[in-house]
């Protein structure tokens, strides 16, 4: 099975083939997997629905393509290298055979606990190998996993459980993150007070903090696996059966459940992993994301394991117990490909070069970036000091909805250009359009990024709301997938992503809707109205700036601001906490009552020299007041 592109001309040819004959192209890649029954059609696509099916009527189980396919040759090869939060604790090295047995045993346990094909299972767990087992066991039995980042609050967890009507929650007692021991199970208990669909909770012991176990509902992981067999016959699934749901923020208030299905996601994560990172057998790959995000799904778990690779899973954070922690792990496991986010790079860059001194980093062959535009300064720092000037840097653009990397250099093949995601992967057809949807052809153009042809790992729907799916992605530019990002094609034809053009912020590589934060702020009883915008932030990329109209009700402004920040933390989680809250007497509104966010963004960005036309404002006087009270 070799689908690895070897050279730039190889890429150019393969790209051309993939555009000329997409079905033939993907057919060739899908054929190398193990299917129980081949597909009738490679692709069926109706842009009206939109409805997309890849490998239609093909039958398979994704985990057979991780386990059974490799067991004869790779049984003792390391699948997961697990590094704990605390470097003094022993790590774990899990072979393909061991991971297979753990997955089978847990598949049997979930089945015994009543989970059936198609049931939704929410995973709210720390970065421990059991979390990987949980995902793989769901895939094995055909249950649909929905991983919720363990940093989300109990109320965010409850919303997600309710939206997908999960039957089961998989969790742990606590979560070691840096110096904290987060009471994960207690948060689940709180969430379950607001839900009625969950029948069982399986709790994995990790930190040994005391937890309350609800009789009949809560069971221990180690108890439920005790008498289960370590073999399991994989459930045969349809290519379009759901593999997982992952919630992400959009421009409206409620996070949406992005749905991915089995066959196409499998083919694409494997193919993109192999090619972008130029992964070779026996390389050690490390993606520092959390499995609560798509990056963790596709490039900690599915991509590397489908390629029979060795993947590092790290429980902790980059700065604990010291700011050289990432570099220590790279040396310890002789990591060959290292994949992280610009926000982490900037945070570590701010610590200076001293934390790097004890480490060689000479195992590295490829370094990668994901999640937000990488500024040139961070790009060069990363390239020079971590990659030592001789590792290709892959700046990978993609989204929760795309399932896999869409635009990126191929390591060592595509010439590197700082801060440019560069060129589309084979099979991906990006186009740049203006506000009216006209294609902007040629070089030196800037506009909105759309994808004009389906690809195997694309979002299938938003869970439970196909209308929303169509409206969000296929209505702005009918018939095309609209990404929400702005993009520039430079004089060489290389793409540079400019960031979101909608009301979505990108805070430390985490996607956050302005409306979602506003809704949380408005929950505070003293708040009358609020407007949230992003602003440039040195480490986070973007920070969150909230303008709030409120009734102090005897509180001091500072006290209320603290309460508002805590309200957001409680309702969504620490990642959504505003950096700045400014109390204002009014918000700039047009005569039709629409908040003029452009002005708020400029004030938050300290860019007030040219506020543009404010003549259509209903209340132009508030603009001056807002500028005077600005807190940046
Ligand atoms: C948004 C998607 C899937 C990766 C994790 C984030 C931004 C992502 C890049 C990049 C510039 C990037 C975009 C995109 N983004 N990667 N290399 N350069 N921007 O997934 O939470 O779904 O967010 O992240 O704005 O739309 P996500």
Q: What confidence tens digit (pLDDT) does each residue in 85-135 have?
A: 999 999 999 999 999 999 999 999 999 999 999 999 999 999 999 999 999
Query: 511 CA distance to ligand 1 centroid (A)?
Result: 8
- Residue whose CA is at the smallest distance from ligand 1 atom 5: 371
How much is the average pLDDT of 247-272? Answer: 95
CA–centroid distance for 460 within its chain:
16
Tokens, residue 22:
């997409």
Q: Count other Cβ atoms within 10 Å, centred on residue 324.
A: 20
Angle of CA points 241, 313, 133, to nearest 5°: 40
Q: Burial letters for 606-619: b for 16+ Cβ neighbours within 10 Å, e otherwise? A: eeeeeeeeeeebee
State the virtual CA torsion across 451, 475, 295, 327 in degrees, nearest 10. Answer: 70
Is pLDDT of 1 > 70? no
Q: How confident is the model at residue 73 (pLDDT cuts 50, 70, 90)?
A: confident
Is residue 550 located within the same domain as residue 440? no
Amino acid 64: pLDDT: 98
Q: What confidence tens digit (pLDDT) does each residue in 543-589 have?
A: 999 999 999 999 999 999 999 999 999 999 999 999 999 999 999 99
- Residue whose CA is at the smallest distance from ligand 1 atom 17: 397
Amino acid 593: pLDDT: 87
Determine, yes or no, domain membership for 478: no
Q: Count other Cβ atoms within 10 Å, centred on residue 543.
A: 20
Is residue 433 located within the same domain as residue 551? no
Q: How confident is the model at residue 71 (pLDDT cuts 50, 70, 90)?
A: confident
Query: 366 CA distance to ligand 1 centroid (A)?
Result: 20
How much is the average pLDDT of 72-94? Answer: 96
| Mutation probe of ligand 1 site: the residue of 276, 344, 396, 397 with most atoms within 8 A of C-beta | 397
Q: Burial letters for 434-447: b for 16+ Cβ neighbours within 10 Å, e otherwise? A: eeebeebeeeeeeb
Query: 22 CA distance to ligand 1 centroid (A)?
Result: 25
pTM of the prediction? 0.96
Q: Where in the sequence is the domain holding 165, given as residue range(s)? A: 8-84+94-451
Is pLDDT of 72 > 80? no
Is residue 417 located within the same domain as residue 529? no
396 Cβ inside 6 Å of ligand 1: yes
Ligand 1 atom nearest to 395, measured from its CA? 17
294 Cβ inside 6 Å of ligand 1: yes
506 Cβ inside 6 Å of ligand 1: yes
Q: What confidence tens digit (pLDDT) does each residue in 504-519 have?
A: 999 999 999 999 999 9
485 Cβ inside 6 Å of ligand 1: yes
Decide which of 451, 484, 516 is a domain's last residue. Answer: 451
Determine, yes or no, domain membership for 467: no
400 Cβ inside 6 Å of ligand 1: yes
Is residue 427 located within the same domain as residue 570? no
Query: 100 CA distance to ligand 1 centroid (A)?
Result: 32
The strand pair at 78-83 and 310-314 is best described as parallel
- Residue whose CA is at the smallest distance from ligand 1 atom 27: 399
Tokens, residue 435:
């506000």
Is residue 197 located within the same domain as residue 329? yes
Q: How many domains does the chain have?
A: 2
Query: 211 CA distance to ligand 1 centroid (A)?
Result: 37
Is residue 431 located within the same domain as residue 538? no
Amino acid 614: pLDDT: 81
Query: 607 CA distance to ligand 1 centroid (A)?
Result: 25
Determine, yes or no, domain membership for 208: yes
Q: How confident is the model at residue 542 (pLDDT cuts 50, 70, 90)?
A: very high
Decide which of 407, 435, 451 is a domain's last residue. Answer: 451
Q: What confidence tens digit (pLDDT) does each residue in 387-424 have?
A: 999 999 999 999 999 999 999 999 999 999 999 999 99
Determine, yes or no, domain membership for 490: no
Query: 385 CA distance to ligand 1 centroid (A)?
Result: 24
- Residue whose CA is at the smallest distance from ligand 1 atom 10: 397
The SS3 assignment for 220 reads strand
Decide which of 451, 467, 493 is a domain's last residue. Answer: 451
Is residue 524 located within the same domain as residue 428? no
Determine, yes or no, domain membership for 500: no
| Mutation probe of ligand 1 site: the residue of 148, 450, 511 with most atoms within 8 A of C-beta | 511
The SS3 assignment for 190 reads helix
Query: 628 CA distance to ligand 1 centroid (A)?
Result: 34
Query: 515 CA distance to ligand 1 centroid (A)?
Result: 19
Whether the Cβ atoms of residue 186 and residue 211 lie closer than 8 Å to each other: yes
Query: 23 CA distance to ligand 1 centroid (A)?
Result: 27
CATH code: domain of residue 609: 3.30.300.30
Is residue 509 located within the same domain as residue 445? no
Rounded distance between C-alpha atoms, residue 64 and residue 68, angstroms: 5
CA–centroid distance for 290 within its chain:
8
Determine, yes or no, domain membership for 162: yes
295 Cβ inside 6 Å of ligand 1: yes
CA–centroid distance for 49 within its chain:
26
449 Cβ inside 6 Å of ligand 1: no
Query: 57 CA distance to ligand 1 centroid (A)?
Result: 32
Determine, yes or no, domain membership for 470: no
Please, what is the average pLDDT of the chain? 96
Q: What confidence tens digit (pLDDT) does each residue in 210-252 have?
A: 999 999 999 999 999 999 999 999 999 999 999 999 999 988 8
406 Cβ inside 6 Å of ligand 1: no
Ligand 1 atom nearest to 500, measured from its CA? 25
Query: 556 CA distance to ligand 1 centroid (A)?
Result: 39
Among 267, 370, 385, 365, which residue's Cα sits nearest to residue 324?
385
Query: 149 CA distance to ligand 1 centroid (A)?
Result: 17
- Residue whose CA is at the smallest distance from ligand 1 atom 3: 399
Is residue 327 located within the same domain as residue 191? yes
CATH code: domain of residue 129: 3.40.50.12780
Q: Give the number of residues written for the chain.
A: 632
- Residue whose CA is at the smallest distance from ligand 1 atom 23: 399
248 Cβ inside 6 Å of ligand 1: yes
Determine, yes or no, domain membership for 541: yes
Query: 336 CA distance to ligand 1 centroid (A)?
Result: 23
Is residue 209 located within the same domain as residue 311? yes
Is residue 408 located within the same domain as residue 555? no
Whether the Cβ atoms of residue 154 and residue 188 lie closer than 8 Å to each other: yes
Ligand 1 atom nearest to 497, measured from its CA? 11
The SS3 assignment for 95 reads strand
- Residue whose CA is at the smallest distance from ligand 1 atom 1: 399
Q: Count other Cβ atoms within 10 Å, centred on residue 178.
A: 15
Is residue 155 located within the same domain as residue 227? yes
Amino acid 253: pLDDT: 80
């Amino acid at each position: 099975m070799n689908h690895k592109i070897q050279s730039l001309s190889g890429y150019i040819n393969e790209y051309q083939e993939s555009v000329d004959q997409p079905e033939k192209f993907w057919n060739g890649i899908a054929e190398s997997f193990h299917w129980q029954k081949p597909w009738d059609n490679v692709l069926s696509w109706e842009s009206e629905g939109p409805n997309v099916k890849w490998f239609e009527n093909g039958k398979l189980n994704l985990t057979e393509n991780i386990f059974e396919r490799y067991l004869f040759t790779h049984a003792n090869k390391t699948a997961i290298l697990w590094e704990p939060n605390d470097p003094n604790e022993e790590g774990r090295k899990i072979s393909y055979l061991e991971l297979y047995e753990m997955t089978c045993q847990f598949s049997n346990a979930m089945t015994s606990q009543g989970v059936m094909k198609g049931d939704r299972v929410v995973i709210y767990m720390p970065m421990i190998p059991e979390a990987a087992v949980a995902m793989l066991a769901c895939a094995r039995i055909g249950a649909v996993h929905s991983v919720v980042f363990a940093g989300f609050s109990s109320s965010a967890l409850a919303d997600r459980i309710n939206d997908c009507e999960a039957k089961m929650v998989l969790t742990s007692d606590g979560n070691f993150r840096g110096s904290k021991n987060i009471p994960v199970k207690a948060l689940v208990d709180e969430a379950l007070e607001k839900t009625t669909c969950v029948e069982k909770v399986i709790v994995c012991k990790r930190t040994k903090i005391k937890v309350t176990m609800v009789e009949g509902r809560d069971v221990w992981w180690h108890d439920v696996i005790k008498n289960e067999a370590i073999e399991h016959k994989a459930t045969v699934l349809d290519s379009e059966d759901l593999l997982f749901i992952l919630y992400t923020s959009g421009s409206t208030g409620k996070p949406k459940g992005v749905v991915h299905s089995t066959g196409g996601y499998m083919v694409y994560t494997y193919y993109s992993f192999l090619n972008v990172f130029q992964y070779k057998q026996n390389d050690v790959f490390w993606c520092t994301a959390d499995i609560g995000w798509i990056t963790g799904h596709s490039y900690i778990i599915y991509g590397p394991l489908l390629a029979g690779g060795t993947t590092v899973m790290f429980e902790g954070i980059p700065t604990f117990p010291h700011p050289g922690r990432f570099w220590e792990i790279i040396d310890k496991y002789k990591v060959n490909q290292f994949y992280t986010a610009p926000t982490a790079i900037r945070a570590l860059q701010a610590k200076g070069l001293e934390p790097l001194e004890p480490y060689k980093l000479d195992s590295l062959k490829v370094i990668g970036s994901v999640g937000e535009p990488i500024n040139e300064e961070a790009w060069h720092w990363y390239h020079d000091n971590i990659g030592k000037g001789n590792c290709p840097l892959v700046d990978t653009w993609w989204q929760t909805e795309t399932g896999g990397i869409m635009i990126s250099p191929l390591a060592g093949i595509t010439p590197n250009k700082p801060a440019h995601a560069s060129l589309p992967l084979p099979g991906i057809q990006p186009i740049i359009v203006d506000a009216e949807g006209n294609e902007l052809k040629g070089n030196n153009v800037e506009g909105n990024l759309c994808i004009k042809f389906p690809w195997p790992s694309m979002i299938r729907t938003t869970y439970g709301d196909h209308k929303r799916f169509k409206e969000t992605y296929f209505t702005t530019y009918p018939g095309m997938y609209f990404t929400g990002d702005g993009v520039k094609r430079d004089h060489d034809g290389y793409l540079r992503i400019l960031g979101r053009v909608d009301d979505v912020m990108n805070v430390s590589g985490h996607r956050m809707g302005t409306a979602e934060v506003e809704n949380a702020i408005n929950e505070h009883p003293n708040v009358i109205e609020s407007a949230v915008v992003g602003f440039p932030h040195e480490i986070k990329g973007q920070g969150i700036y909230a303008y709030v109209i409120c009734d102090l009700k005897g509180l001091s402004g500072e006290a209320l601001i603290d309460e508002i920040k805590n309200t957001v933390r409680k309702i969504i989680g620490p990642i959504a906490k505003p950096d700045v809250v400014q109390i204002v007497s009014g918000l700039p509104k047009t005569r039709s009552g629409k908040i003029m966010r452009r002005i708020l963004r400029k004030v938050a960005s300290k860019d007030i020299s040219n506020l543009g036309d404010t003549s259509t404002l209903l209340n132009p006087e508030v603009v001056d007041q807002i500028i005077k009270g600005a807190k940046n």
